[in-house]
Amino acid sequence: MKENNANARTGHDSYFRSVFKAPERAAELLKLAARHNESLAEFLKTVDLSTLTEISESFSDTESFGYADLAFTVKIADGERNRDSEQFGKERSADLLVGIL
Query: What's the rounded Cα separation, in Å, for the pair 99 and 82?
Result: 25
pLDDT above 70 covers a percentage of the chain that reads: 53
State mean pLDDT over 34-57. 91
pTM of the model: 0.64
Would you say 40 and 21 are in contact if contact means Cβ atoms under 8 Å apart? no
CA distances from 78 to 7, 71, 74 (A): 35, 22, 12
The confidence score (pLDDT) of residue 5 equals 46
Instruction: Say yes or no to pLDDT of 4 above 90.
Output: no
CA atoms in the 13 A half-sphere facing the CB of 80: 16
Confidence band, pLDDT 50/70/90 cuts, at residue 25:
very high
CA distances from 24 to 33, 34, 50, 72 (A): 14, 15, 8, 11
